[in-house]
Amino acid sequence: MTLKNLAQLAGVSISTVSRVVNKNDSSVASKEVRDRIWDLARQTGYVPNRSAQNLKLGNRPPQTEAGRHIACIFARTPNGKSDPFFSQIFRSIEYECMKNRYEMTGVYTALNLRSTVQSLSDIRYDGIVVLGRYSRSLMNQIKRCSKNIVYTGLNPICDPYDQIICDGYETAKAAVRYLHTLGHTCIGYLGEKSDEIRYRGYYDAIQELRLPLRREHIVEAEQTMQGGYLGGKRILTAVHSSSEFVATRPTAIFCANDSTAMGVMKAFHEEGVRVPKEISIISIDNTEICQFTSPMLTAIHIPKDELGKIAAKILIDRMEGGHSLPMKIEIPFTLVTRESCASPMH
């Protein structure tokens, strides 16, 4: 399989395919086109010709062992490869594996634990990548399947495995602090709460800033668009049922991720609540869709490509005997301001 063959199958130019699979360039084409190219690359077994590129540049070919297989487990979501956050991390991991002549030959979800563990045991993968916060039962099972495990996500772990994280606790605190600098003192939360470090960051930031913490402004919801939509409706219902509506109405909502924020924005739009004029919204992830919402979504940017790339590098290094002690690498985040946040109305 050559670049030319792959381009013909995908219906795009050779240069487009090259920039997608050889450079992991997300600006060269739409997400739909990039996904189609990667799917075809997997189906046809295409591997970037790194040896030829290294010879052209005068470098030695990478000394990697053929036939090493890596599995990826989406620990938090049933449809990981369609999830806008984890799918980008996965794509970066897959790309790095291809570069180094390793194969991502198994992709699983933790929701079907018995089937996943059975597959891992039968195939005996050389390395396993775990994406997102995992349960104790999952880790107890998969640690028997491979000694080479790397975790990446927003929640730091205490287990003795390599971890590549962008600290969700600090990102949540940064989001709340930013809303406070705009003048917001009544800030709500929408997302998961149980074992969710982003909720703890929100809670602690509210306490540190000495802001009111109102029960009706904290809504636990699935971190999906549907969860955000239903949660947004619940926030408005709780507010409207309050006898102190004007005094207790939140002026800003911190959403645990972009998908939740998009659901909230839809719920508010249907109820005639204007964003950001009446309620500001901020989220965590900064996936591609943030630029296409109306108004455009302010978010904490998580370096998803770097999380995946470094996770793959660390796992491969461990598999090849480069290190034995568990490593913890923390990736910095940044605030991306757009149109969904403004100073509160007075």
pLDDT in tens, 196-221: 999 999 999 999 999 999 888 999 99
Residue range 60-95, pLDDT digits in tens = 334 334 447 899 999 877 666 678 899 899 999 988
Which residue reads 């790194």 in tokens?
50
Sign, CA torsion 286/341/198/273: negative
Residue with the bigger pLDDT between 227 and 65: it is 227
Strand partners, 298: 282
Give the least confident one: 170-184, 245-259, 328-342.
245-259
C-alpha 147/C-alpha 133 separation (Å) is: 19
Angle CA 180–307–73, to nearest 5: 115
pLDDT at 67: 47
- Pseudo-torsion of CA 44, 85, 146, 312, nearest 10°? 70
Instruction: Give residue-wise pLDDT tens across range 161-196.
Output: 999 999 999 999 999 999 999 999 999 999 999 889
Q: DSSP letter string over 77-91? A: -TTGGGSTTHHHHHH
Residue with tokens 């997300």: 26
Q: Are strands 334-336 and 298-301 parallel, antiparallel or unpaired?
A: antiparallel
Q: In the structure, what pLDDT confidence band is assigned to residue 98 with cuts at 50, 70 and 90?
A: confident
Residues 6+ apart with CB under 8 A from 218: 188, 189, 193
Reported confidence tier of residue 26, pLDDT bands at 50, 70, 90: confident
Do 299 and 284 form a contact (C-beta atoms < 8 A)?
yes
The residue that leads in pLDDT, 204 or 21, is 204
> For all residues of the chain together, what is the average pLDDT?
86
Please give the angle made by the CA atoms of 144, 110 and 190, to the nearest 5 degrees.
135
Do residues 90 and 72 lie in contact, with contact meaning Cβ atoms separated by under 8 Å? yes
* Per-residue exposure over 181-190, b if at least 16 CB sit within 10 Å of its own CB, e if not: ebebebbbbb
